[in-house]
């Protein structure tokens, strides 16, 4: 640990937990403060999950859950543990042993650190601690890997898999149409209620409480998808609910349930890339641009406040980029009049 007054290293001292510095009690105060600020349930859930991962490491290392035991050296040890030792998807009932590999991705590590940064910033502002140990901790560098999208043929193959004669199969078929047609996030699609759909003008309203940026937006939907929505709503008449997508006993379908079924469909369709609900959003945004749609309208459909965010969801295919280059390369103008058949002098 660094002595901030003298700039020298000190031997780390481990503290036994006392009520004044008990980390669990301080986290509860932080959590209730965020509830009072109106944070979404999904955000609050992530706070608890990420705090749980943090204290799991403290317990493994024999550190008491005392805020004084958290310093920059301990935090860096936590980061290395996540990157090198922590098992991905450990204990996940829907993940195979092959998927439970050692070492979390830098993106996952940064997500878990984000909660702890927010927590310790709160502790500093509220004067529970005098120094925030996360201030000097940098984000783990992330590789900007190319995000894959599905082809038209893969989408068609995927849509051909669900058994539409069964309620669950037809429901999944409709969900996939809504994700493709509306560019929705999965929680936005599964939260749809019948009152959110305007069948007259062909628009779906995403309510502010379901939107990531807490702003409502209206999204146009094709007549084909509207017909499917009418059919699934009719199939729901036996249940007293406004939700559009239901599980077998009439309760709203959960995110995890659909993800699990989608994974099975993708395997049956022999799609070689990892298929997940957000992949529909990436794919739809890319196809929209490739067919001539503009960024401003795409921004409105996706529901992003910042236009720069839109580029994260658009990954033009290599074929599209090559076609654009062949059409607009400046070399076309340069060699246009010089592009004559070459004669070889012997």
Q: Which domains does the chain have, with CATH numbers?
A: 2-125 (1.10.150), 152-320 (1.10.443.10)
> Which pTM does this prediction carry?
0.68
- DSSP 8-state class, residue 202: T
Quick: pLDDT tens for 130-164: 999 999 999 999 877 667 889 999 999 999 999 99
- Distance separating alpha carbons of residues 149 and 87, to the nearest angstrom: 27
Distance CA 246, CA 216 (A): 23
What's the whole-number mean pLDDT along residues 295-301?
84
pLDDT for residue 328 is more than 80? no
Vertex 132, ends 128 and 135: CA angle to 5°? Answer: 160
Q: Which two tokens stand for residue 180?
A: 């493709």
pLDDT at 8: 38
**Mean pLDDT to the nearest integer, 243-269:** 95
């Amino acid at each position: 640990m660094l002595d901030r007054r003298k700039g020298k290293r000190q031997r780390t001292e481990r503290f036994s937990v006392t009520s004044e510095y008990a980390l669990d009690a301080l986290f509860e105060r932080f959590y209730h403060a965020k509830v009072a600020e109106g944070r979404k349930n999904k955000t609050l859930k992530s706070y608890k999950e990420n705090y749980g991962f943090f204290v799991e490491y403290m317990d493994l290392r024999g550190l008491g859950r005392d805020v004084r035991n958290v310093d920059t050296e301990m935090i860096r040890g936590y980061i290395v543990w996540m990157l090198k030792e922590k098992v991905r998807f450990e204990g996940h009932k829907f993940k195979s042993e092959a998927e439970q590999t050692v070492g979390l991705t830098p993106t996952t590590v940064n997500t878990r650190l984000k909660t702890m940064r927010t927590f310790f910033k709160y502790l500093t502002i509220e004067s529970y601690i005098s120094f925030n140990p996360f201030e000097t901790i940098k984000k783990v560098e992330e590789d900007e890997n190319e995000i894959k999208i599905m082809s038209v043929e893969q989408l068609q193959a995927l849509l051909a898999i669900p058994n539409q004669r069964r309620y669950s199969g037809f429901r999944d078929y409709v969900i996939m149409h809504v994700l493709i047609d509306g560019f929705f996030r999965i929680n936005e699609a599964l939260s749809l209620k019948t009152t959110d759909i305007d069948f007259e003008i062909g628009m779906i309203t995403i309510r502010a409480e379901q939107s990531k940026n807490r702003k409502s937006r209206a999204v146009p939907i094709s007549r084909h998808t509207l017909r499917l929505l009418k059919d699934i709503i009719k199939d729901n008449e036996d249940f007293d609910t406004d939700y559009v997508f239901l599980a077998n006993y009439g309760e709203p379908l959960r995110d995890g349930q659909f993800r699990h079924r989608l994974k099975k469909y993708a395997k049956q369709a022999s799609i070689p890339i990892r298929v997940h609900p957000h992949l529909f959003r990436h794919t739809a945004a890319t196809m929209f641009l490739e067919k001539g749609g503009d960024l401003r309208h795409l921004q409105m459909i996706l529901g992003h406040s910042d236009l720069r965010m839109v580029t994260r969801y658009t990954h033009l295919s290599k074929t599209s980029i090559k076609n654009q280059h062949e059409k607009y390369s400046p070399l076309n103008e340069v060699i246009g009049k010089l592009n004559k058949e070459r004669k070889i002098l012997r």
